[in-house]
């Protein structure tokens, strides 16, 4: 098995706990589904949020969808002037027998503009 990184991002409409859980749950679920990843395949997940998101940790959403046994790390993104607001980014590490070109990165909601070259 190879170790692969799967990238994703989503943009929240508002800084609320409910919105964080909804948006990040959707993103993580789609990342897992699009790449055929099972919980046992996961190594770790890094979740970052822009500095304007302070109502909830993105990792709460991961635990709510059954990823509580996976090592999770939350961090704050660099506050770059003019960057897209209310964004959660994810870097998921997994054991996968796929070529790099076959990894499906998932960008949802307003975050699709971040990586038009990768967004599905």
* Confidence band for 1, pLDDT divided at 50, 70 and 90: confident
Kindly list the domain boundaries of the chain, sorted by start residue: 2-113
Residue range 45-56: mean pLDDT, rounded: 97
- Tell me what pLDDT residue 112 has: 78
Residues contacting residue 40 through CB under 8 Å, at least 6 positions apart:
none
Please determine, for residue 120, whether its predicted confidence score (pLDDT) is greater than 90: no
Residues contacting residue 94 through CB under 8 Å, at least 6 positions apart:
3, 4, 6, 35, 37, 41, 42, 43
Residue range 83-105: mean pLDDT, rounded: 95
* Confidence band for 86, pLDDT divided at 50, 70 and 90: very high
pTM as predicted = 0.91
* Confidence band for 115, pLDDT divided at 50, 70 and 90: low
Terminal-residue alpha carbon distance, the chain: 25
Please list the helix, strand and coil fractions of the chain in percent, rounded to the nearest 5, in that order: 30, 30, 40
Mean residue pLDDT of the chain comes to 93
Of the candidate CATH numbers 3.30.1330.40, 3.40.470.10, 3.40.50.2020, 3.40.50.720, the domain formed by 2-113 belongs to 3.30.1330.40
Residues labelled catalytic: 7, 63, 74, 77, 89, 107, 115
- Tell me what pLDDT residue 119 has: 47
């Amino acid at each position: 098995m190879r170790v692969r990184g799967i990238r994703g991002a989503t943009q929240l409409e508002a800084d609320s706990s409910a919105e964080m859980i909804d948006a990040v749950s959707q993103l993580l679920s789609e990342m897992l589904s699009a790449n055929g990843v099972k919980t046992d395949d996961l190594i770790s997940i890094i979740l970052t949020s822009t500095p304007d998101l302070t109502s909830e940790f993105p990792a709460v959403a991961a635990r709510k969808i059954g990823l509580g046994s996976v090592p999770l790390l939350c961090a704050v993104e660099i506050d770059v002037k003019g960057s897209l607001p209310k964004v959660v980014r994810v870097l998921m590490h997994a054991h996968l027998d796929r070529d790099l070109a076959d990894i499906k990165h998932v960008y949802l909601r307003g975050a699709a503009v971040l990586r038009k070259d990768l967004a599905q």
